[in-house]
Chains A and B, each alone.
Chain A
């Protein structure tokens, strides 16, 4: 099959437009990065992390942390570690198997230091 020159050009333009459209679409609607795709910036005990944040909070905003600590309170949407770190759980995680007094390791995103309640806040937390 042979195409005329005009048809060839039309075909090439069409392919380019489709590719451009597709990549724009891919770029615009790229999915959210999951917690596991981002490097953990702090891993260790809740107490150490609390002290670091209290000294200087700015470097710790919007980073992924992995903390080990004792549960001091549990509510429907999350758990509190060592009275000072509130971990809001990622959807799909439940608090039903957890008890106050238990020591656990969690991984989540640090969102900031809440000065109203004087505690650290994590979201998207999962139990390790």
Chain B
């Protein structure tokens, strides 16, 4: 009985120790063109969970939590482009290929990040490179994902077409701590 208990404790320890996460991950996107007002926003409330045994990664953010410098731009982003009342969330599920937490160091290492990004109910397969490093107990993941508005059925009116970049860069910066 004693042994079973010890084993049980050990097993629970392993299962709880294999995830690292954040609730306040930073996701930014830039769709700026040079000659116009910067079109960019920050989301500092992204939830990200990384399974450190398998490299599986899940992320979720609320579109309305994107903050623009210009309030009017934020309003248009939510109402006209992202339709965020109807599609409040954007999600990503995927994997860091060949991830091994024991190989992480304070110098960033590159891993392929593959998965599916869902925005406005439309899915897009992502294949990019993520830089991952370890800082004390934190795992820090950074990556850039490029998308276009058309991929998510976002229509941009002709009048502003030249003021929004054709290709939009989404920058990820997630500091994952151990899940208790």
Footprint of B on A, CB under 8 Å? 27-33, 61-62, 75, 77-78, 86, 88, 111-112, 114-117, 121, 123
Q: B77 near A: Cβ within 8 Å?
A: no
A128 → chain B closest CB, angstroms: 21
A28 B72 Cβ-Cβ under 8 A: yes
- Residues of chain B from 37 to 63 with CB closer than 8 A to chain A in the complex: 44-45, 47, 49, 58-60, 62
B24 A117 Cβ-Cβ under 8 A: no
**Chain B residues with a Cβ closer than 8 Å to the other chain, count:** 20
Q: B65 near A: Cβ within 8 Å?
A: yes
A116 B47 Cβ-Cβ under 8 A: yes
B24 A88 Cβ-Cβ under 8 A: yes
Residues from chain B with a CB closer than 8 A to the CB of A30 are 71-72
B70 A88 Cβ-Cβ under 8 A: no
A29 B23 Cβ-Cβ under 8 A: no
A116 B49 Cβ-Cβ under 8 A: yes
Total A-B pairs, Cβ < 8 A: 54
Residues from chain A with a CB closer than 8 A to the CB of B44 are 88, 123
Footprint of A on B, CB under 8 Å? 21, 23-24, 44-45, 47, 49, 58-60, 62, 64-65, 70-72, 74, 85, 88-89
Residue in B47, B58, B60, B64 whose beta carbon sits within 8 Å of that of A62 in the complex: B64
Task: Give Cα A111–Cα B24 distance, bound, in whole angstroms.
Answer: 13
Task: Give Cα A62–Cα B82 distance, bound, in whole angstroms.
Answer: 15
Residue in B45, B58, B64 whose beta carbon sits within 8 Å of that of A116 in the complex: B58
Residue in B58, B65, B71, B85 whose beta carbon sits within 8 Å of that of A111 in the complex: B65
Apart from the given pairs A111-B64, A121-B47, 7 other A-B contacts in the complex at a CB distance below 8 Å: A27-B72, A30-B71, A75-B23, A78-B24, A116-B49, A116-B59, A121-B62
Residues from chain A with a CB closer than 8 A to the CB of B23 are 75, 77-78, 86, 88, 114, 117, 121
A77 B24 Cβ-Cβ under 8 A: yes
B72 A112 Cβ-Cβ under 8 A: no
Residues from chain A with a CB closer than 8 A to the CB of B89 are 112
- Tell me the nearest residue of chain B to A30, going by C-beta: B71
B58 A33 Cβ-Cβ under 8 A: no
Residue in B49, B65, B74 whose beta carbon sits within 8 Å of that of A123 in the complex: B65
Residue in B47, B64, B65 whose beta carbon sits within 8 Å of that of A117 in the complex: B47
B70 A61 Cβ-Cβ under 8 A: no
B60 A32 Cβ-Cβ under 8 A: no
A36 → chain B closest CB, angstroms: 15
